[in-house]
Amino acid sequence: MNSQIDPEVQAKVNQWLNGSYDENTKQTIRDMMEKDPTELIDSFYRDLEFGTGGLRGIMGVGSNRMNKYTVGAATQGYANYLKKCFQEVDQIKVAIAHDPRNNSPLFAKISADIFSANGFKVYLFDDLRPTPELSFAIRYFGCQGGIVITASHNPKEYNGYKAYWDDGAQMIPPHDKNVITEVSKITDVSEIRFDGNPDLIELIGEEIDKIYIQKLKSLSLSPDIIARQKDFKIVYTPIHGTGVKLVPMALKAFGFEEIYGVKEQDVVDGNFPTVISPNPEESPALKMAIEKALKIDADLVMATDPDADRVGIAVRKGEGFVLLNGNQTAAILMYYLLRMWKENGKITGKEFMVKTIVTTELLNDIADKYSVEYFDVLTGFKWIADLIRKYEGEKTFIGGGEESYGYMIGDFVRDKDAVASCAMIAETAAWGKENGLGLYDLLIDIYKEFDLYKEHLISIVRKGKTGAEEIQAMMDNFRKNPPKVLGGSPLVVIKDYLSSEELNISTGEKSPIFLPKSNVLQYFTEDGSKISVRPSGTEPKIKFYFGVKAPLDEKEQFENVDTQLGAKIEEIIKDLDL
């Protein structure tokens, strides 16, 4: 035994070396033992677990890596759990989709084989498809579950496995933990039924695309305006991903005619050759699209991540373009939705919208103005979907979003949907143009009406076993030693979602938080600032969300007030010693 390797890690390594794994896998393990014990430890120190986005990890050999065995165990465990939960169903059905990543088609096919070997009817998309379309397909076919193979916006070495329940939403407790329990019961790969039944696997494709797009078209609130603004120029890039076909289809269905792609990025490629990271939250990912937009004098730039559930946008500002962050796009989108619902006489008092706890409070202010009920939920669209399910038949969901560039409009998809979001953002922009406003001007108008909200995110990456321990130590320290003042303003409330307690600092009074337990801390200051701290559920990082605000009396004051708020955020960052 290598003295550097923990006995528990070594036991897992031995299990793989002595088990029914293929010889290439075993040889890779031997090579790591000899040449790279640190990599070996990271590959085996834990089993991949479902977080806010499901199973996600670096591709490679080991229990902490995405490979045919970890995907196989996850699928077999999930299948076993579905059998337990749906014993009364004669034919359990699942839908499967995948993104453009390396090994995604392979992992999707392996999963389809395992489900079919367990007697399930499988609806397998014939090629890459957006994650939201998978959510739609689950509901359309009346499935009990489904999966999509994707690592969303992560770098090319990652892949992932998102598992869905019968409502088309990602799994929430107790289902997610119960699946893990079932997976952990699989102690030998011989328990995974890899030999599929082709008779139970049905390929699906264009017919579902058309039905999905027709449903999206029903979301449109201003078709007459689009008809007048049909020459509105849009540059769209899928960043080598699944939006390449469906987003232009949706835009055309809405009535837009001037849609331009970025030729180099329309190429489906899991290596994402034109970007460092295929993440529309990062400005380099939109660089080529903005260059194209400047060349053709376009009005709007949009980019989706590889599985087309997140969208980043760039809007006109003077002669150039400026990127909007996820909070800003959410504010514009929700403002448009609520305003149009009211103008169209659709608000009856039974409507609601939802945002996550780390998303801008501006959305709640907008909902208040239009007398629409709003809810805060934990990070992850599965919690928004959970509320939709809870109120189905009683209340109507208008829309929701989160700061990390994800939005959902309507309830027929139960996950963030960049295809629908692109169409509705374009419609919002066309409505703005009809009224003499670019999206940037509209945003400033919103700030003038509701206060200028400025948000900022810091992510600190700590990889591997030691990194996970360091992140937990940081959370422990913030719990035990909370700051008294942030940005010159005293703390008034601390919310700890792990203990489910809200503390009023001035009175010492504690009140319950009626949300599921989660490792999240929030600090609220006297001047309305909000600081949230949470480890990521899908990546080896800890995230700090900063939200500050101030009145904006005149449009001309925007730059000055924005600069002042930026300075306040910097002061808070120093106070937290980050």
The reply to whether 93 falls in a domain is yes
- Residues spanned by the domain of 539: 452-575
Same domain, 495 and 445: no
Same domain, 340 and 391: yes
Indicate which CATH number applies to the domain containing 67: 3.40.120.10
Q: What pLDDT, on a 0 to 100 scale, did the predictor assign at position 3?
A: 52
Return the sign of the alpha-carbon dihedral for residues 167, 170, 176, 180: positive
- Rounded Cα distance between 540 and 456, Å, is 19
Q: Which residues does residue 373 pair with via DSSP β-bridges, in sequence order? A: 352
- Rounded Cα distance between 530 and 486, Å, is 10
Q: What is the pairing mode between strands 351-356 and 396-402? A: parallel
- Rounded Cα distance between 552 and 443, Å, is 12
Q: Is the pTM of this model over 0.85?
A: yes
Same domain, 444 and 458: no
Cβ(230)–Cβ(426) below 8 Å: no
Neighbour count for residue 536 (Cβ, 10 Å): 17
pLDDT in tens, the chain (578 residues): 455 688 889 999 999 999 999 999 999 999 999 999 999 999 999 887 765 556 889 999 999 999 999 999 999 999 999 999 999 999 999 999 999 999 999 999 999 999 999 999 999 999 999 999 999 999 999 999 999 999 988 899 999 999 999 999 999 989 988 888 888 898 889 999 999 999 999 999 999 999 999 999 999 999 999 999 999 999 999 999 999 999 999 999 999 999 999 999 999 999 999 999 999 999 999 999 999 999 999 999 999 999 999 999 999 999 999 999 999 999 999 999 999 999 999 999 999 999 999 999 999 999 999 999 999 999 989 999 999 999 999 999 999 999 999 999 999 999 999 999 999 999 999 999 999 999 999 999 999 999 999 999 999 998 877 888 899 999 999 999 999 999 999 999 999 999 999 999 999 999 999 999 999 999 999 999 999 999 986 668 999 999 999 999 999 999 999 999 999 999 999 999 98
Comparing CA positions, the residue from 159, 182, 176 lying closest to residue 68 is 159
Residue 278, preceding peptide bond in cis (omega within 30° of 0): no
108-141 per-position pLDDT tens digit: 999 999 999 999 999 999 999 999 999 999 999 9
The reply to whether 52 falls in a domain is yes
Cβ(229)–Cβ(433) below 8 Å: yes
Q: What's the burial of 458, exposed, middle or buried (CB within 10 Å: 0-12/13-18/19+)?
A: middle
Q: What pLDDT, on a 0 to 100 scale, did the predictor assign at position 389?
A: 97
In sequence order, which ranges of 185-228 are alpha helices (DSSP H)?
A: 206-217, 223-228
Q: Helix or strand or coil: residue 85?
A: helix
Q: What pLDDT, on a 0 to 100 scale, did the predictor assign at position 266?
A: 98
Same domain, 486 and 401: no
Residue 482, preceding peptide bond in cis (omega within 30° of 0): no
Return the sign of the alpha-carbon dihedral for residues 139, 142, 144, 150: negative
In total, how many domains does the chain have?
3
Same domain, 370 and 509: no
Same domain, 344 and 394: yes
Q: What's the burial of 467, exposed, middle or buried (CB within 10 Å: 0-12/13-18/19+)?
A: middle
Torsion, CA 523, CA 525, CA 528, CA 531, rounded to 10: -30
Cβ(170)–Cβ(150) below 8 Å: no
Instruction: Identify the DSSP state of 396.
Output: E
Q: Which residues does residue 121 pair with via DSSP β-bridges, in sequence order? A: 93
Same domain, 131 and 199: yes
Indicate which CATH number applies to the domain containing 458: 3.30.310
Q: What's the burial of 227, exposed, middle or buried (CB within 10 Å: 0-12/13-18/19+)?
A: exposed
Neighbour count for residue 481 (Cβ, 10 Å): 8
- Rounded Cα distance between 567 and 6, Å, is 46
The reply to whether 295 falls in a domain is yes
The reply to whether 41 falls in a domain is no
Same domain, 120 and 174: yes
The reply to whether 479 falls in a domain is yes
Same domain, 250 and 136: no
- Rounded Cα distance between 113 and 69, Å, is 13
The reply to whether 408 falls in a domain is yes
Neighbour count for residue 150 (Cβ, 10 Å): 34
351-393 per-position pLDDT tens digit: 999 999 999 999 999 999 999 999 999 998 999 999 999 999 9
Same domain, 402 and 505: no
Same domain, 435 and 477: no
- Rounded Cα distance between 555 and 564, Å, is 15
Given strand 406-409, what is the order of strands in its sheet? 373-377, 351-356, 396-402, 406-409
Residue after which a domain boundary falls, among 142, 172, 204 = 204
- Rounded Cα distance between 93 and 116, Å, is 9
The reply to whether 39 falls in a domain is no
Q: Which residues of 404-416 are buried (b: 16+ CB within 10 A; e: fewer)?
A: bbbbbbbbbbbbb
Residue after which a domain boundary falls, among 450, 483, 499 = 450
The token pair at 96 is 């499967």
* Side chain identity, residue 569: I
Cβ(79)–Cβ(115) below 8 Å: yes
Q: List residues with catalytic annotation.
A: 152
Q: Helix or strand or coil: residue 306?
A: coil
Half-sphere exposure of 502 (CA within 13 A, CB side): 9
Q: How many residues does the chain have?
A: 578
- Rounded Cα distance between 575 and 578, Å, is 8
Residue after which a domain boundary falls, among 399, 420, 450 = 450
- Rounded Cα distance between 19 and 26, Å, is 9
Same domain, 472 and 507: yes
The reply to whether 353 falls in a domain is yes
- Rounded Cα distance between 119 and 539, Å, is 34
